[in-house]
Amino acid sequence: MDLPERVGPRRDPTSFELGADRVQYLPFVIRRGRGRRDTPKDREDFVWIDRARHRARGYRPSQVLWLYDTRRRGTFAFQPRTRVATMYVCGVTPYDTTHLGHARTFLVFDVLARLLEVRGQRLRYAQNITDVDESILQRAARDKVSWRALGRREERAFLRDMKALDWRKPDAIPHATREIPAMIKLAERLRRRGFAYETPGGVYFDVAKFPRFGQLSRFSKAKMQRILASQDDARLDDPTRRSPIDFALWRRVSDGPTWPSPFGRGRPGWHLECSAMSARHLGFPIDIHGGGSDLIYPHHESEIAQSEAAHGLRKRFVGHWVHVAPMRLGGAKMSKSDGNMVFVREVLKKTTPQALRLYLLDVHYRRPFDHDEERLDRARERAEALGRSLGRGRLGPIERDASTQEVLGALDDDLHAERAIRALEKHARRDLSPDSMASLRTIARKVLGIL
């Protein structure tokens, strides 16, 4: 008996050549290899690549940026939801000088933004400044200065340090103290929708009402509790809340800076800030949300709960969660609270911004970075050598030659900047055509900023 051939989806690659003017969608297939095992679980997780459109922009199908998403624990093609991609990065609490850990984190997003933009992708990038926070208030009290003056001074110093590193400045830098009305509105909305409740101490998010809580960190409730207990904020928390992992949207406090609200005078919870400001400056949902990996829980987990609950639970808050691993010094995490820091300003006294960028980008962003003075010295020599072989000459369009493809391919593969730099160094020493050299120069200067 003859059975008709089973009709399946067309997988003929030549069909793209024919249909370049039509928009063609193919279900996205997860690449094999390390860290790409996760399969999409629900509709929202399904990523579609619009190959024809990429082609029309001059991309090859292989020139899609693949980016790791912490929530899905896998590497997925980056496809912005709208014509202008949106990226929100959790910024600094300005009460101390910029250390190498900050610089590394923000340079990862700087390279990500430059990589998208150099190929014509429009991007709107917002990064907040938490200018009111318990740590600022404590430091201001210790130093006997006003918290506003301290915050402003440290913010200026931070922006100066990042400018010295040729940072791609965000399009919006919202300040927590100037966005209190948006935060109050969000807290009210959550209370109206039944996701928040009031206690004598303030307003809390009811984690039990949000079934997806824990989707980002995948931590158990016990682990969440342990983390909360270890943080400074814990002592400020209210014992009357329904669950110990419920978090504050608003705290009624009488001392220090306070703002009026329908829940009484007080201060907003830290997580509320980023949910309110990302929606105000970038909309909902957003394509990329980033920060240091220490923010995964409780900060980003709580942001998801607030934003998705406020917007009806149907859509995911973020397409790609991008987290940068910590910077370490002598095996311990470099952090303000522990006081073991190496400052950008100090390092820039003895090396160039290009060399410091090369040094900080020389370890993949998802791996912890161990600060090493010897490697820093070597980075200076490497940047100088790159300057000698590639520095002089014109910038050119990004070509399709093998050397450019190797460098870009490393960046497109989950921002492997260290592989891209090594490929650049290798090809810059070779005798390439002027066009290829001009193309490599553009990547070194415009994307990596190491030339």
Q: Which of 47, 64, 85, 90 binds Zn ion (CB under 5 A)?
A: 90
One-letter amino acid for residue 144 of the chain:
K
One-letter amino acid for residue 292 of the chain:
G
Contact indicator for 98, 158 with CB cutoff of 8 Å: yes
Residues in 185-244 that interact with Zn ion by CB under 5 A: none
Q: How far is the CB of 90 from Zn ion (least distance, A)?
A: 3
Please tell me whether residue 411 adopts helix, strand or coil conformation: helix
Nearer to Zn ion, 273 or 425 (CB): 273
> Residue 8 class from Cβ within 10 Å (0-12 exposed, 13-18 middle, 19+ buried)?
exposed
Q: How many CA atoms lie within 13 A of 296 on its CB side?
A: 21
Q: How far is the CB of 291 from Zn ion (least distance, A)?
A: 6
Nearer to Zn ion, 282 or 443 (CB): 282
Nearer to Zn ion, 116 or 318 (CB): 318
Terminal CA-CA length for the chain: 69
Tally of CB atoms within 10 A around 261: 21
Q: How far is the CB of 299 from Zn ion (least distance, A)?
A: 5
Q: Which stretch binds Zn ion (CB under 5 A): 13-21, 47-55, 267-275, 307-315?
A: 267-275
Nearer to Zn ion, 76 or 321 (CB): 321
Please tell me whether residue 194 adopts helix, strand or coil conformation: coil
Q: Does 89 bind Zn ion (CB under 5 A)?
A: no
Q: Which stretch binds Zn ion (CB under 5 A): 87-95, 241-249, 401-409, 439-447?
A: 87-95
Q: How far is the CB of 297 from Zn ion (least distance, A)?
A: 13
Q: How far is the CB of 311 from Zn ion (least distance, A)?
A: 17
Q: Which stretch binds Zn ion (CB under 5 A): 85-93, 166-174, 259-267, 305-313?
A: 85-93
Q: Which two tokens stand for residue 356?
A: 């410091």
Helices and strands, number each (H, E), in the chain = 15, 15
Contact indicator for 123, 87 with CB cutoff of 8 Å: yes
Q: How far is the CB of 271 from Zn ion (least distance, A)?
A: 7
Nearer to Zn ion, 274 or 376 (CB): 274
What element of type H or E holds 164?
helix 147-164
Q: Which stretch binds Zn ion (CB under 5 A): 178-186, 272-280, 310-318, 371-379?
A: 272-280
Q: How far is the CB of 131 from Zn ion (least distance, A)?
A: 13
Q: Which of 87, 115, 150, 274 binds Zn ion (CB under 5 A)?
A: 274
The packing angle between helices 100-118 and 147-164, to 10°, is: 50
Residues in 43-62 that interact with Zn ion by CB under 5 A: none
Q: How far is the CB of 274 from Zn ion (least distance, A)?
A: 3
Nearer to Zn ion, 90 or 140 (CB): 90
Q: Where are the alpha helices (DSSP H) in 342-446?
A: 344-347, 353-360, 373-390, 402-412, 417-428, 434-442
Nearer to Zn ion, 276 or 438 (CB): 276
One-letter amino acid for residue 399 of the chain:
E
Longest dimension (CA), the chain: 91
Q: Which two tokens stand for residue 87?
A: 């990226």
Nearer to Zn ion, 191 or 299 (CB): 299
Nearer to Zn ion, 274 or 344 (CB): 274
Q: Which stretch binds Zn ion (CB under 5 A): 8-16, 148-156, 220-228, 270-278?
A: 270-278
Size of the site for Zn ion (CB under 5 A): 2
As a whole number of angstroms, the distance between CA 23 and CA 54 comes to 10
Q: How far is the CB of 125 from Zn ion (least distance, A)?
A: 14
Phi-psi label, residue 370: left if phi above 0, alpha if psi -120 to 50, beta otherwise:
beta
Cα separations in angstroms, 315 against 1, 81, 211, 268, 309: 49, 12, 14, 25, 10
Nearer to Zn ion, 274 or 304 (CB): 274
Contact indicator for 338, 394 with CB cutoff of 8 Å: no
Pairing of strands 318-324, 286-292: parallel
Nearer to Zn ion, 75 or 93 (CB): 93
Q: How far is the CB of 268 from Zn ion (least distance, A)?
A: 12
> Residue 358 class from Cβ within 10 Å (0-12 exposed, 13-18 middle, 19+ buried)?
buried
Q: How far is the CB of 89 from Zn ion (least distance, A)?
A: 8
As a whole number of angstroms, the distance between CA 413 and CA 420 comes to 10
Print the binding letters for residues 389-428 with Zn ion: x by CB under 5 A, - otherwise: ----------------------------------------
Binding site residues, Zn ion, CB under 5 A: 90, 274
